[in-house]
Amino acid sequence: MEAETQHTILKTNNLSIGYASKKELKVIASNINIALQKGELIGLVGANGIGKSTLLRSLTKVQKPLSGTIMLNNKDLSDYQALELAKGLSLVLTEPVASKNLTVFELVALGRQPYTNWVGNLSEKDIESVNLALSQTNINDLKHKKCYELSDGQLQKVMIARALAQDTDVIILDEPTTHLDMYHKAYILKLLQKLVKETQKTILFSSHEIDLAIQLCDTMIVMTNNEVVSDSPCQLITKGTFETLFPKDLIAFDNKTGNFRVKK
């Protein structure tokens, strides 16, 4: 059992990310060595503009890494076909869906696209997966509502359900808690924790809710100007990694509460 729970799903090897144009090479971060295990909730934190989004874009094959490799299920990410990748990795992005005229069921069912036939008909198994995703995220009662009728918090749950319906080993969320109130921030992250436990999926999210992430995540990836560190939250606190997150003039990390305090 022990060996099974320590199964590595997503692994980077000397990954270097950034933007390459004809004129110059802009390296955002380099020497990234992280390994995401099966059934883990991983939080990615870092200051604004440090490259969290770039890292997520690289991990999801939206952009090419400058150097190094990314392995998903022991296969190089660059060797994946688009459809194959869609069955291994699903996303929740910060951008709103283009059409809010979809019903919740329709939207979640779009997560089944990689498995449906040429016209997109749902098989019984597809409908089963959609209903499972709806109940896992507690939105069964929203099923027939249109997306424009939903609050931000409800919409975020729907997007998570859509990613679940895609039936992938890894789900990556880009700042799933922005625009939400304090209660819903905690609710969404707690939901992710519950999903990890129930489904043994690997869920990676980026967030600015450092205190919540410390309480809920199995592993955290901290991006600072100099390095990308990944470890369990307790270890990171002990090592003092969180102190290096931000400039020290305004706020300071309190080891006891796992929180940032404004300097008086």
Partner 1 sequence: MPNTKTYKLPFILLSLLLVVCFFVNISLGSVSIPTKEIFKSLVGTIDNESWHYIIQNYRLPKAFTAILVGSGLGISGLLMQTLFRNPLAGPFVLGISSGASLGVAMVILGSGVFGGIFTTLLVSKWSVVIAASLGSFLVLLAVLAVSSKVRDTMAILIIGLMFGSITAAVVSVLSYFSSAEKLQQYIFWGFGSLGNLSWYELMIFTIIYGLGLLLSVVSIKALNTLLLGENYAKSLGLNIKKNRLIIIIATSLLAGTITAFAGPIAFIGLAIPHMVRQIFTTSNHKTLLPAVFLFGAIIMLMCDSIAQLPTSDYTLPINAITSLIGAPVVIWLLVRKRKMMF
Which stretches of the chain bind partner 1, using CB under 8 A? 60, 62, 81-87, 89-91, 93, 95-103, 105-107, 109-111, 113-114, 116, 118-120, 122, 127, 130, 144, 148, 166
- Number of continuous H segments (helices) and E segments (strands) in the chain: 9, 13
Whole-number minimum distance, CB 245 to partner 1, in Å?
28
Question: Nearest approach, Cβ of 99 to partner 1 (angstroms)?
Answer: 4
- CA dist., res. 225 & res. 151, Å (int): 36
Q: What is the DSSP secondary structure assignment for residue 199, as one 8-state letter?
A: H
The Cα 101–Cα 99 span in angstroms is 5
* Closest approach of partner 1 to the CB of residue 163, in Å: 9
Q: Answer whether 176's CB lies under 8 Å from 205's CB.
A: yes
Nearest to partner 1 of 22, 263 (CB atom): 22
Under 8 Å CB-to-CB from 203, ≥6 apart: which residues? 40, 41, 42, 170, 171, 172, 173, 192, 195, 196
Q: How far is the CB of 97 from partner 1 (least distance, A)?
A: 5
- Sign of the C-alpha dihedral, residues 49, 207, 17, 225? positive
Residue with smaller CB distance to partner 1, 167 or 209: 167
The CA–CA distances, whole Å, from 78 to 8, 33, 59, 162, 169 equal: 18, 17, 10, 25, 17
C-beta of 89 vs 204, nearer to partner 1:
89
Specify the residue, 82 or 262, whose C-beta has the smaller distance to partner 1: 82
Minimum distance from CB of 42 to partner 1 (Å)?
18
Give me the least distance between CB of 98 and partner 1, in Å please: 4
How many other C-beta atoms lie within 10 A of the C-beta of residue 174? 20
How buried is 101 (Cβ within 10 angstroms: 0-12 exposed, 13-18 middle, 19+ buried)? exposed
At closest approach, how far in Å is the CB of 64 from partner 1?
Answer: 14
CB 153 within 8 A of CB 184: yes
Closer to partner 1 by Cβ: residue 27 or 102: 102
Measured from the CB atom, is 168 or 207 closer to partner 1?
Answer: 168
Q: Which is nearer to partner 1, 175 or 209 (CB)?
A: 175
- Among 192, 196, 247, which residue's Cα sits nearest to residue 225? 247
